[in-house]
Structure 1
Amino acid sequence: MLTFYSDETLRRRARTELDGGRLVVPYESPERVELVLKRVREVGLGEVRAPETFGLAPVLAVHDRGYVDFIAGCWDEWQAAGRTGEAIAWIWPTRTLRDDVIPEHIDGRLGHYAQSADTSICAGTFEAAMASKDIALSAMAHTLATGEPSFGLCRPPGHHAASDQFGGYCFFNNAAIAAQHALDEGVARVAVLDVDFHHGNGTQEIFYARDDVLFASLHGDPRSCFPYFLGHADETGRGRGEGYNLNYPLPAGTAFVAWSRALDDALRRIRDAGCEVLVVSLGVDAFEHDPISAFRLTSDDFTELGRRLATLGLPTTFLLEGGYAVEEIGINAVNVLSGFEAAAREA
């Protein structure tokens, strides 16, 4: 399996995350991709290739222009305001405030475009996000051209990024950008399957009223898990998108037996919908030892996940999302890819 990777993804080295009332070093770190890349090479998964560059047009196909301009210029604007720390939102247009007038001040604009205070913007954020989406697009382009699976070693991750908001360490929605690219290249319907512990709220928001992308997410119940305000089972799409949004919220402590029942139902729905290409938002924070998650999947379970994904028989692009047990992230991510390849060879 071909892996796409760029050192540009390491340019974002944030120092600040608000966690439990403390400012800590973020769980999402450059070391995550370095460990996955090391494992890819250790097992001989296949060639590692640098991505092509695609510019801003694919980003603007799923994201708001004002939002993209904000991400591009936020760090410079923050510094110009005389700030010495990293840019973190501290005021939001909540239920009793207006959200239709975008403030001019950097603090207000941060609040307008931020979902949460967990994600700071620092030097290199825009450049890393651009490289990450290029990785996703290159992986998808390879799959479309060859029919072969591909792996995009994306960082920052993307599935929390909505059309005009960042959060959960995500700035540009790599999976949505890749899915839209496949549609633009003539694919009739794409499936995006999100197996990250945290709900892919951004991907859901982008495609919620559309029937050309089926979105399915297995995740911690939002009544007790981030992002809290999206991901319930009754969110099934709107208008033409009705029935094309599938949420499988699961309780803390869920192990593979129960988790895989939800997976099997999602795979059945993807088959029934006639999807032609599969994008996997490959978060591996469902792992039993992940520090900010609450499922109980083992490393061997990720191999079985890959095997089950292969049963769809679809051209498949895997894009890295979460996974914060850094010692095991490489093992778990590559287990999915190896399991997929082994099952595909046996088919």
Structure 2
Amino acid sequence: MMQPFRDFAAIRAAAVNLPAADADAVAAARARDQQLTKPTGALARLEDCVFHLAGWQRRGIPCLDAVRIAVFAGNHGVAARGVSAYPADVTMQMVANFERGGAAINQLAILHGATLSVTALELERPTQDFTAHAAMTETECLAAINAGAEAVPPNCDLLVPGEMGIGNTTAAAALAAALHGGDAASWVGPGTGVAGDALDNKIRVVDAALGFHRAALGDPLQALRLVGGRELAALFGAVLMARLQSVPVLLDGFVVGAAAAVLARLNPAGLDHCLAGHVSAEPGHRRLLAALGKPALLDLGMRLGEGAGAAVAVGLLKAAVVCHAGMATFAEASVSQRS
């Protein structure tokens, strides 16, 4: 099968020529909303969600019959530096748990009638320790980006990207710092639960990576290659392909947000098709969403990953859609409109 992107140049070109939302579909959704049996604006952000989905699904009455949750898993060489509370073996063990149906994201997928895909990215071959090497070669990074792009079905109503990878909040912090500035302490958080000396070590590791690669981090794709990871590259590829296919995206936590931010740096309008499902307990996530201009739908203090926070927010989007599609208009219900 031909890969979606043959090289980084093709990715850059795709990121420049991105489709926009369908203004006519948004107008149709707004027109219907004005006729529904409620005061204008009474459903607040639920209405905004409907208009967002309408524009990207290119239909005045959006639906969420085909929701895809796509989880990507990768291992990180930097994990050997003690940046996580868990050993790297947990990545592979959790992938097996996903495949058996035993994780939180499995239950949320069942709840919402969503299709769950899990893509394990060369777990037996971690990325390089990015404090002293590039995390990936360009070939490796491109392969991961294409794996993410290939996980997005063209007939999807909504994409929920998720991740699993011991050490990946370290990579996300390094990538966020590369893309948006600041030192490691501005972005590093507890991840799987590190604190005290272990957290200080994690900060030092990210600062070391930023210093080692500083000369090349101004290029978003190179930043992804140098201090990211295979699952972050796949997440970027999935978000980009979703945009090219006009599939709306519901972003999960810090790792997903950092990967998606690469597209925003390549094109300031690159994440217009994305909503932020939630803001996680990872401190850098709130800062990142502010930088991206993406207010979160939920703030529950979650820090699981897997796409779980965004999957919980799918319920909000479904509530918005069923109200928009199912409510009677003033004329249908013989209810007098505001004078």
Please classify the TM superposition score into its range, dividing by the shorter chain length. Answer: 0.3 to 0.5
Max radius of gyration: which structure? 2
What TM-score do you get using the length of structure 1 for normalisation?
0.37
Q: Which has the higher helix share?
A: 2
Structure scoring higher RCO (CA < 8 A, sep ≥ 6) equals 2
What is the TM-score of this pair, normalised by structure 2? 0.38
